[in-house]
């Protein structure tokens, strides 16, 4: 672990520091560096301010040999990165004719004349390599000083990605060999999973790390190896965990639960539909956000109003009156009704009180029934949730997909 | 501006440092702090590693009096924040009975027994205030040392927001006087809006700032004043902009488009339903994510499969064959069919090719028809989108709400 190549990311801009925009750049750069074997040790965000940018550079370079900086390269008065670089490296801002020619060419392509303001972007630090940007006016720069490398690129996402991917990575030293394996699970929390694989985890060598990323009944496990010749060992441990966790694992790599269920349905040439009350279409949305879902997803009915449960899904009025809309009886009737109505192999139904209003003494907010119906019958579950409305909707939707997947496996 | 209250944000987690997930937490926290008059000077991300967490705390506290830390509070071996806090503040990790009781109560609500691993989350630093978390097992903590305040909350977004908003902000000192006014618009882009209010913007004093936050046919304008006694001026400028933009403004403050439409429907005692093909329930989801939407939202039909457009919504087979499912004729028939079927005042229908598959030479990916039907007839629009599947779905859903709102205003 001694020779790990360490990198840092510095993002510059007031808009990030007041939370006006989410910083997607640093996630992309982190993933890009990670794939190239650079371990990102610090991600720092600072305001549009020369002393703070310079301080940020120092803080990042304390623990890293490579620094990627983004933002602050535009032509307006709050763009200060070139000045900060010049002060930091004690060099001058000088006219860069090649940049000026590129800016003129870009502007002419849009039928415009470059203005005085565009000239401001043509002054560059005289101590840097200037890397031309094919997608915008501000070039990237590279400084090499005392075994440290400092890269500066614009904050506009496509320009940043273009410069790093197409122009700069080949100019940087190679990183360490690093490998990741991703295991996706659903149905148990991280604590239970942790118990199940305690001994495997304890046997991991120090240069293989395991991380748990939980979200609403789902946990993603990520195994990462650092160093040479760890690939085989990494695959062995990954396989051990997959075998131990069994049916809790719905996939590996870049997949989500609704896509995994979609692949099962496609393989079995089966179809699905939903009848959603409290989730209001969110289960359907999760299913249809997968490309190609029209192959197995036929449709849904959302009988939000009491009467529509009867008119659209033939739930009997007596049943609704006797048990109430939020009941095992009604959610079962909804699942079975929509399965017949749409002619699908599998159906999901939800009915509950997502909150914050709608509670009764017997049925507090978060009382939610879910049901899945298939060729061998219907199963239902009662959820008692305590989250806010949106989280209750999302949790319920995931829980219904988990129940469906369990039935599909057990009844295969 | 000398007494500016400065804050920093420290996010902890390998998943952030390898770019596996985008850090939305720090944007939310930055915005939250900004609204409470705290200027965020540094946002730092570090790995799951005790020395790096401790170093990160020091770096953040160099320039800030308030530090908000998130992440690393789960029960697994990569959760190290409590240990880092204990080492940093030289205090002990001690059994916290109240947390144990809460964890037991949560587990029992799910019909489970807490395990040994759950107990790990019940050890808390003995030098901190422990703040109970109503939405999860890990509590928040507050340390107060030498005029500095260090807050630690879980990285799970809903738990983080709950703790900061509902439990902790009232325990923290007040920030600087800062006021925000939020104006929500829909239907025009930021460039058009910018032209419309150019003169008002030019007249703003230097301590009132205007920001544009565009997202899919919507632009939120945020006016911010810094310092005392700017409230009246801020209200004057806000009112000027609202008057100038007229019907483009759908609300002020904490509101979104579907909530604004919901308030119009409630005031007019009218109802709504949807017939969604390509949006797959997302319009319905946007409407039902508003608390109290059951007062005006009756339900939806999602006839994803071709045949269901006929069987569920009585769209004629001849029409489907002649014009195709993605056509003005079919989307109009869907809007009118669902309006009648559900007995609602207003309906929305969508039909199109969200992508990446499903294109034909005549109808490329992103060809999407939307329609709204009301008491005075039906209007439709053709969208030609070029985004990815999820963005096409979201854009279409917003566009259909914009069309509905326009009709509701013009036909009031």
* Nearest C-alpha in A relative to B32: A19
CATH 3.90.950.20 fits B257-410, yes or no: yes
Top residue of B1, B37, B43 to mutate, by most chain A CBs within 10 Å, is B43
* Nearest C-alpha in B relative to A343: B308
- Backbone dihedral region of B253: left (phi > 0), alpha (psi from -120 to 50 degrees) or beta? left
How far apart are alpha carbons B387 and A252 in whole angstroms?
27
Top residue of A300, A365, A384, A396 to mutate, by most chain B CBs within 10 Å, is A300
Average pLDDT on A242-259 reads 97
Query: Given A18, A297, A358, which is nearest B34 (Cβ)?
Result: A18
Domain ranges of chain B: 6-171, 178-252, 257-410
- Which of A80-89, A118-127, A268-277 shows the lowest mean pLDDT across its residues? A118-127
Q: What pLDDT, on the 0 to 100 scale, is given for residue A110?
A: 66
Cα angle B54, B59, B62; round to 5: 125
Q: What pLDDT, on the 0 to 100 scale, is given for residue B332?
A: 98
Tens digit of pLDDT per residue, chain B (412 long)?
447 899 999 999 998 998 888 999 999 999 999 989 999 999 999 999 999 999 999 999 998 999 999 999 988 888 999 999 999 999 999 999 999 999 898 888 877 888 888 888 999 999 899 999 988 889 999 999 989 999 999 999 999 999 999 999 999 998 888 888 999 999 988 778 988 999 999 999 988 988 887 788 899 998 988 877 888 999 999 999 999 999 999 999 989 999 999 999 999 999 999 999 999 999 999 999 999 999 999 999 999 999 999 999 999 999 999 999 999 999 999 999 999 999 999 999 999 999 999 999 999 999 999 999 999 999 999 999 877 899 899 999 999 999 999 999 999 8
Query: Given B22, B287, B291, which is nearest A24 (Cβ)?
Result: B22
Q: Which residues of B touch A209 (CB under 8 A)?
A: 14, 78
How far apart are alpha carbons A207 and B100 in whole angstroms?
34
Q: What pLDDT, on the 0 to 100 scale, is given for residue A111?
A: 75
Q: Which residues of A touch B280 (CB under 8 A)?
A: 281, 284-285, 287-289, 293, 297
How far apart are alpha carbons B339 and B342 in whole angstroms?
6
Give the distance from residue A23's alpha carbon to the nearest chain B alpha carbon, in angstroms: 7
Q: What is the CATH number of domain A6-171?
A: 3.40.980.10
Top residue of B10, B29, B30 to mutate, by most chain A CBs within 10 Å, is B30
* Nearest C-alpha in A relative to B112: A192
Q: Kindly determine whether residue B298 and residue A285, on different chains, have CB atoms separated by under 8 Å.
A: no
Q: Kindly determine whether residue A43 and residue B16, on different chains, have CB atoms separated by under 8 Å.
A: yes
Give the distance from residue B401's alpha carbon to the nearest chain A alpha carbon, in angstroms: 16
Q: Is it true that B178-252 and B257-410 share their CATH fold?
A: no
pLDDT at A369 over 60: yes
Report the DSSP beta bridge partners of residue A218. A186, A215
Q: What is the DSSP string of B69-89?
A: EES--SSSTT--HHHHHHHHH
Q: Kindly determine whether residue B52 and residue A41, on different chains, have CB atoms separated by under 8 Å.
A: yes
Q: Kindly determine whether residue A356 and residue B291, on different chains, have CB atoms separated by under 8 Å.
A: yes
pLDDT in tens, A124-141: 999 899 999 987 889 999
Predicted structure pTM score: 0.83
Report the DSSP beta bridge partners of residue B151. B68, B142
Are A104 and A97 a contacting pair, CB within 8 Å?
no
Query: Given A40, A288, A303, which is nearest B280 (Cβ)?
Result: A288
Using a 10 angstrom Cβ sphere, with 0-12 exposed, 13-18 middle and 19 or more buried, the burial of residue A184 is buried
Are A345 and A270 a contacting pair, CB within 8 Å?
yes
Q: What pLDDT, on the 0 to 100 scale, is given for residue B272?
A: 98
What integer best gives the mean pLDDT of chain A? 93
Query: Given A22, A302, A393, which is nearest B300 (Cβ)?
Result: A302
Cα angle A95, A99, A101; round to 5: 105
Query: Which class does domain B178-252 fall in?
Result: alpha beta
Query: Given A34, A282, A298, which is nearest B281 (Cβ)?
Result: A282
pLDDT in tens, A205-236: 988 989 888 888 999 999 988 877 888 999 99
pLDDT at A1 over 70: no
Cβ–Cβ pairs < 8 A, chains A and B: 263
């Amino acid at each position: 672990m001694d020779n790990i190549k360490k990198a840092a990311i510095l993002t510059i801009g007031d808009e990030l520091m007041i939370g006006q925009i989410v910083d997607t750049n640093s996630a992309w750069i982190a993933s890009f560096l990670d794939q190239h074997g650079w371990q990102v040790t610090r991600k720092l965000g600072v305001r549009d301010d020369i002393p703070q940018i310079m301080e940020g550079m120092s803080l990042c370079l304390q623990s890293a040999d490579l620094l990627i900086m983004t933002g602050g390269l535009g032509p307006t008065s709050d763009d200060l990165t070139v000045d900060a670089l010049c002060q930091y490296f004690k060099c001058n801002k000088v006219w860069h004719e090649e940049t000026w020619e590129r800016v003129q060419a870009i502007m002419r392509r849009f039928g415009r004349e470059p203005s005085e303001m565009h000239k401001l972007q043509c002054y560059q630090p005289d101590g840097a390599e200037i890397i031309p940007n094919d997608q915008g006016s501000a070039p990237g720069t590279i400084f090499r000083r005392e075994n440290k490398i400092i890269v500066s690129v614009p904050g506009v996402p496509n320009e940043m990605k273009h410069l790093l991917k197409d122009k700069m990575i080949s100019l940087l030293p190679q990183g360490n060999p690093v490998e990741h394996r991703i295991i996706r699970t659903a149905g148990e929390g991280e604590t239970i999973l942790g118990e199940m694989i305690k001994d495997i985890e304890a046997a991991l060598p120090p240069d293989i790390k395991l991380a748990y990323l939980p979200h609403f009944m789902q946990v993603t496990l990520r195994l990462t190896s650092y160093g040479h010749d760890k690939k085989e060992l990494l695959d062995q441990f990954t396989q051990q965990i997959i075998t131990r966790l069994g049916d809790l694992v719905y996939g590996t790599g870049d997949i989500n639960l609704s896509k995994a269920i979609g692949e099962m349905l496609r393989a079995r040439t089966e179809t699905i539909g939903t009848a959603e009350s409290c989730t209001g279409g969110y289960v359907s949305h999760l299913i249809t956000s997968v490309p190609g879902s029209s192959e197995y997803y036929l449709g849904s009915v959302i009988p939000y109003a009491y009467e529509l449960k009867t008119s659209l899904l033939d739930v009997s009025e007596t049943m609704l009156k006797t048990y109430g809309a939020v009941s095992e009886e009604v959610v079962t009737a909804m699942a079975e009704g929509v399965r017949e109505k749409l002619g699908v192999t599998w159906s999901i139904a939800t009915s509950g009180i997502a909150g914050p209003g709608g509670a009764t003494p017997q049925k507090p907010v978060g009382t939610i029934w879910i049901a899945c119906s298939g060729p061998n019958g219907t199963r239902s579950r009662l959820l008692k949730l305590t989250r806010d409305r949106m989280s209750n909707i999302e949790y319920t939707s995931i829980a219904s997909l988990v129940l469906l997947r369990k039935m599909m496996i057990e009844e295969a």
